[in-house]
Amino acid sequence: MFTNTLFLLSAALTLGGAIAVVYSQNLMHACIYLLASFFGVAGLYACIGADFLAATQLVVYAGGVVILMLFAIMLTGGTGNNINRYGLEKIAAMGNKKTYFFAGITAILASLIVLKIIANVLKDQSTTAVITANAPTVERIGTLLATDHILAFEISSVMLLGALIGAAVISRPRKERHD
C-alpha cells in the first residue's frame, strides 16, 4: 500500500512537473516545476529500492542543479519581461490556492521518499540470506565501483577534471593586446 501510494504520487509529480516545465512561460516557474519533477524521479527510485540513487537524485539534482539555476536566474535578472507599466518589477503571487496545493503535494511526496529511504536503510539485513530486489543498494554500488568498475570510475573522474579545467579556461577574462 505504501509503495503503491508513493509510486502513484511520484509518477504524477514527475509527469506533472515535466509537462509544466514545457508549457511554462516564466523561467522561474519552469525551474520550480523542474525541481518538482526531480523530486518525483527520486520517489520513483525509492519505489524500486534504489535508495542510493534516490538520495543522489535529491542531493545532486534537486539540491545542486536546480538551486544553481535559481541563483543564475535571480542574479542575471531572468527574462526581463516582468516589468509593469511603471517600470517596476512585478512580484509573483505567493500564497494562493494553487501554490499551497503544489507545496502540499511536494511536502507529502518528499516525506514519503525520506521514509522509504530510511526504511530501506534500517531494514535488518541479517534475516535475509538472499539479496532481494528492494535491498539497499549503497553497499553493492560501493563494492562494484571499488572492484569491478574501478577503471570506469577513474575515467569519469578524469573527464570531470577536464570539464572543470575547460570551464575555468573559457570563463577567464581575456587580456587585450595593444601593439
Q: Where are the domains of the chain?
A: 2-85+93-129, 137-173
The answer, as to whether pTM is greater than 0.75, is no
The amino acid present at 4, given as its one-letter code, is N
CATH class of 2-85+93-129: mainly alpha
Residuewise pLDDT in 10s, the chain (179 residues): 777 888 888 899 999 999 988 888 877 788 888 888 988 998 898 888 888 888 888 888 877 777 777 777 676 665 555 555 555 455 555 566 777 787 788 788 878 777 777 777 677 554 554 555 566 677 777 788 788 887 777 887 788 788 778 777 776 676 776 65
